[in-house]
């Protein structure tokens, strides 16, 4: 079973380059904007899987981020009704990946055991680890759990034939990447296992880290899951993704097709 895979940008943040790397960079004050994405997977039978759920307008305002278009509207523009989606993968519970899960009212939410434990456990007593999380998002996950809408995974798991999740940890303890079979081979949505291409290619990590060793191994795991093809590893926040892949017509450059060969 092969799938179409789309990267959908819904927000952005202008920032200096040094904000995106742990180690010093040559030109720390150069502009290096960060994009916020969700991903839509769709097969010929109409099965839709949404990977991550983004942040909403209130969260954007609170954190000084730009919301270009809400995640719900972005999906509807791709002819995907959030209430119809059967499966939602939450790669991890950071604010920019786990908001608005209520709009997916009929979906199973796929998450790693360790991410739920992490977001509700002792490490949330530490401000610098807690800061990328929103209590409301975590509470929404607990509510979904008690409504029997959560599917837990421990390491590797299948969401549907041709779509699997793989825990890498590192950036957040239960961070998982998604591997999807496409017509051009397996594509790995790395999410925050690799924020920018440059984090992986230069070996300079993004500075939000729970386990540095796991984070660096995550780059290798993602590449291996993609069959060693760098063009099939999709970073979670790099604006270059929108240049490297074919734009979907009628989406103002906000959506690109990851299952088609790269163009740049």
Minimal distance, residue 95 CB to Zn ion, in Å: 8
Which alpha helices (DSSP H) does 32-187 contain, by range? 57-63, 71-77, 113-119, 127-130, 135-146
Nearer to Zn ion, 115 or 192 (CB): 192
Q: Are strands 233-235 and 246-247 parallel, antiparallel or unpaired?
A: unpaired
Nearer to Zn ion, 68 or 246 (CB): 68
The size of the interface with Zn ion (CB under 5 A), counted in residues, is 3
Q: Identify the residue among 52, 96, 181, 254 touching Zn ion (CB under 5 A).
A: 96
Minimal distance, residue 261 CB to Zn ion, in Å: 26
8 CA to centre of own chain: 10
Q: Is residue 52 within the footprint of Zn ion (CB under 5 A)?
A: no
Nearest Cα residue to 169 out of 240, 91, 257, 64: 91
Nearer to Zn ion, 36 or 245 (CB): 36
Contact window for Zn ion (CB under 5 A) among 114-122, 136-144, 187-195, 241-249: 187-195
Q: Is residue 48 within the footprint of Zn ion (CB under 5 A)?
A: no
181/161 Cα distance (integer angstroms): 9
Nearer to Zn ion, 179 or 195 (CB): 195
222/234 Cα distance (integer angstroms): 9
Nearest Cα residue to 163 out of 19, 41, 45: 41
254 CA to centre of own chain: 16
Nearer to Zn ion, 99 or 181 (CB): 99
Minimal distance, residue 12 CB to Zn ion, in Å: 12
Residue 194, helix vs strand vs coil: coil
Q: Which residue is nearest to Zn ion (CB)?
A: 94
Nearer to Zn ion, 72 or 169 (CB): 169
Nearest Cα residue to 121 out of 237, 113, 263, 58: 113
- Structural contact between residues 184 and 23, judged by C-beta atoms closer than 8 angstroms: no
Q: Identify the residue among 173, 192, 238, 254 touching Zn ion (CB under 5 A).
A: 192
Contact window for Zn ion (CB under 5 A) among 12-20, 88-96, 216-224, 239-247: 88-96
Q: Is residue 35 within the footprint of Zn ion (CB under 5 A)?
A: no
Nearer to Zn ion, 47 or 94 (CB): 94
State residue 154 phi and psi, 5-degree precision.
-125, 90
Minimal distance, residue 208 CB to Zn ion, in Å: 6
Minimal distance, residue 37 CB to Zn ion, in Å: 9
Q: How many CB atoms lie within 10 A of CB 162?
A: 17
Minimal distance, residue 36 CB to Zn ion, in Å: 7
34/208 Cα distance (integer angstroms): 14
User: Which residues contribute to the site for Zn ion (CB under 5 A)?
Assistant: 94, 96, 192
């Amino acid at each position: 079973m092969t799938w179409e895979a789309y990267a959908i940008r819904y927000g952005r943040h202008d920032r200096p380059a040094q904000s995106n790397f742990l180690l010093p960079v040559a030109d720390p004050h150069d502009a290096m904007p960060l994009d916020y994405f969700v991903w839509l997977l769709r097969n010929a039978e109409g099965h839709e899987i949404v990977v991550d759920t983004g942040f909403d307008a209130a969260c954007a305002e609170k954190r000084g981020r730009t919301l270009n278009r809400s995640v719900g509207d972005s999906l509807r523009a791709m002819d995907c009704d959030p209430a119809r989606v059967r499966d939602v993968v939450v790669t991890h519970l950071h604010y920019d990946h786990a908001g608005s899960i209520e709009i997916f009212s009929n979906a199973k939410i796929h998450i790693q055991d360790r991410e739920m434990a992490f977001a509700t456990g002792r490490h949330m007593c530490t401000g610098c680890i807690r800061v990328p999380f929103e209590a409301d998002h975590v509470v929404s996950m607990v509510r979904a759990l008690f409504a029997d809408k959560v599917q837990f995974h421990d390491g590797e798991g299948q969401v549907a034939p041709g779509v699997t999740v793989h825990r890498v940890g590192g950036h957040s303890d239960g961070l998982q990447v998604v591997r999807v079979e496409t017509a051009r081979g397996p594509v790995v949505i790395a999410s925050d296992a690799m924020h920018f291409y440059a984090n992986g290619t230069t070996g300079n990590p993004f500075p939000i880290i729970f386990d540095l060793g796991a984070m660096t191994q995550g780059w290798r795991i993602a590449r291996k899951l993609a069959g060693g093809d760098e063009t099939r590893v999709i970073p979670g926040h790099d604006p270059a993704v929108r240049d490297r892949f074919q734009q979907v017509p009628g989406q103002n450059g906000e959506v690109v097709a990851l299952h088609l060969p790269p163009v740049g």
